[in-house]
Homo-oligomer: A and B are copies of this chain.
Amino acid sequence: MSHLEQSFSVKFEYKIFFTSSLFDPRNTRLADFFKKQAAVSLRKIYFVIDQGVADAHPELTTNIKRYFEQHREMQLIQDILIVPGGERAKNEPELFDQIVEAVNQYGIDRHSYIAAIGGGAVLDLVGYAAAVSHRGIKHIRIPTTVLSQNDSGIGVKNGINYKGKKNFLGTFAPPNGVFNDDTFLSTLSDRDYRAGISEAIKVALIKDPEFFYWIATQTGALVKRDPETMNYLIKRCAELHLNHIGGDDPFESGSARPLDFGHWAAHKLEQLSNFEVLHGEAVAMGIALDSTYSFLKGMLAETDLQRILKVLIELGYDISNPHIQIKDLQSPILLGLSEFQEHLGGLLSITLLKEIGSGEEVHEMDQSLLIEASTYVYDATQAGAGNIHQH
Contact = CB atoms under 8 A, between A and B. Distances in A.
A136 B250 CA distance: 13
Interface residues of A, number: 69
Contacts of A345: 109-112, 134
Interface string A18-49: 11100000000100000000011101000000
A162 B15 contact: no
B43 A17 contact: no
Contacts of A162: 100, 104
Interface stretch (A5-13, A140-148, A212-220): A5-13
A167 interface: yes
Contacts of A167: 134-135
Contacts of A16: 3-6
A162 B96 CA distance: 13
Contact of A109 (B3, B18, B247, B342): B342
Contact of A11 (B9, B13, B29, B109): B9
B18 A172 contact: no
Contacts of A104: 162-163, 165, 168
A242 B133 contact: no
Contacts of A365: none
A2 interface: yes
A14 to B, nearest CB: 5
Interface of A: 1-20, 29, 39-41, 43, 100, 104, 107, 109-112, 128, 131-136, 154, 157, 159, 162-163, 165, 167-172, 174, 235, 238-239, 242, 245-247, 250-252, 255, 342-347
